[in-house]
Amino acid sequence: MDMSTPNRYWQLDSIRGFAVVLMVIYHSLFDLNYFGGPFLGLHFNLNPLLQLVIPVTIGTLFFLVLGASAFIKFQQLQKQSVRPFLLRGILLFAIGLSITLVTAIFVPQGPIYFGVLHSLGLSLVLLFPFLLINRYGFNLLLGMIIIAVGVFLLPRDVHFPWLIWVGFTPEHYQSLDYYPIFPWFGVSLIGLVFGKVFFEHFGAAAKIPTVENFRPRNYLTSLAFLGRHSLLIYLVHQPVIMGLTMAIFRLSNFVRLR
């Protein structure tokens, strides 16, 4: 989910890595709750507050770092080329579409039509004009307005499905992963401001120039390692969790039969 850059910043990778840890923990609990009843005979309810706070925290961290990484990438390229932003955005969005297809087939009760990868990919492309404009006070204000509009739209249902990606949700809409442009593009705009402040205050002193520096020696470098591979972890962690759930289910049946 990161922007590939010539020089990595362990601070940003660590933030993204912390979001990855939260994501894996939350999805593990969610999957046990969602699939545990049918497979394992488990019945428990996640705290409704946790079901709101944890996904919002995860999304906020991912979109903030997306904006910050986009700003740093733009500075490092030293040229006004949309190509790397466009290619990375298309890649993320295309992977998101594949997840839409898989979930529509295997989880028809909660397919992912516009999840975090769709939103990150589109947001990355939409960020480029704001990098060119280079008005970060405006970016901050617009980001806050988009977030406010998204919060306003959240509890309001509509009778059509084609603006799900914006934030207009049909009545009784359910999805396992939903991050519409309103409010989340607003968070990525604020991420541009965060990236500007970060880059100006840390600069070259903040970057990790060699791969060897990413070898986990403490929790920060471990988080940075996870952050560097956030996209891969996002793609494989759910199948792994589901595989473990099914393995536990089969083992429990085997033990009962014995």
In the structure encoding, which two tokens stand for residue 206, read together?
A: 């903040």
Integer CA distances (angstroms), 244 to 2, 28, 35, 230, 248, in order: 28, 10, 12, 20, 6
d(CA 224, CA 213) in angstroms, rounded, equals 10
Residue type, 112: I
Can you give the pTM of this predicted structure? 0.88
Residue 45's pLDDT band (boundaries 50, 70, 90)? low
Q: Is the pLDDT of residue 149 over 90?
A: yes
d(CA 215, CA 224) in angstroms, rounded, equals: 9
pLDDT range class, residue 6, cuts 50, 70, 90: very low
Query: How confident is the model over 16-27, as a mean pLDDT?
Result: 94
Q: What per-residue confidence (pLDDT) applies to 4?
A: 42
Average pLDDT over residues 217-221: 69
pLDDT at 209: 43
Residue 203: Cβ within 10 Å count: 10
**Residues 101-136: tens digit of each pLDDT:** 999 998 888 899 999 999 999 999 999 999 999 899
Instruction: Enumerate residues 6+ apart whose C-beta is below 8 A from 191.
Output: 63, 64, 65, 66, 67, 68, 69, 70, 71
Nearest CA among 67, 88, 89 for reference residue 189: 67
Instruction: Give the pLDDT of residue 80.
Output: 74
* Local confidence band at 238 (pLDDT 50, 70, 90 cut-offs): confident
Half-sphere exposure of 238 (CA within 13 A, CB side): 16
**Confidence tier at 218 by pLDDT (50, 70, 90):** low
Average pLDDT on 238-256 reads 73
> Which percentage of the chain shows pLDDT scores above 70?
82
- Ranking 5-19, 106-120, 169-183 by mean pLDDT, the lowest is 5-19
> Residue 179: its pLDDT value, please?
97
Handedness of CA 83, 129, 116, 16 (dihedral sign): positive
Least confident of 7-16, 53-62, 66-75, 124-133: 7-16
Highest mean pLDDT among 8-17, 94-103, 208-217: 94-103
Closest CA to 25 of 54, 52, 49: 54
* Mean residue pLDDT across the chain: 85
Rounded to the nearest 5 percent, the helix, strand and coil shares of the chain are 75, 5, 25
- pLDDT on residue 176: 86
Identify whether the C-beta of residue 68 lies closer than 8 Å to the C-beta of residue 191: yes
Contact 117, 92 (CB under 8 A): yes
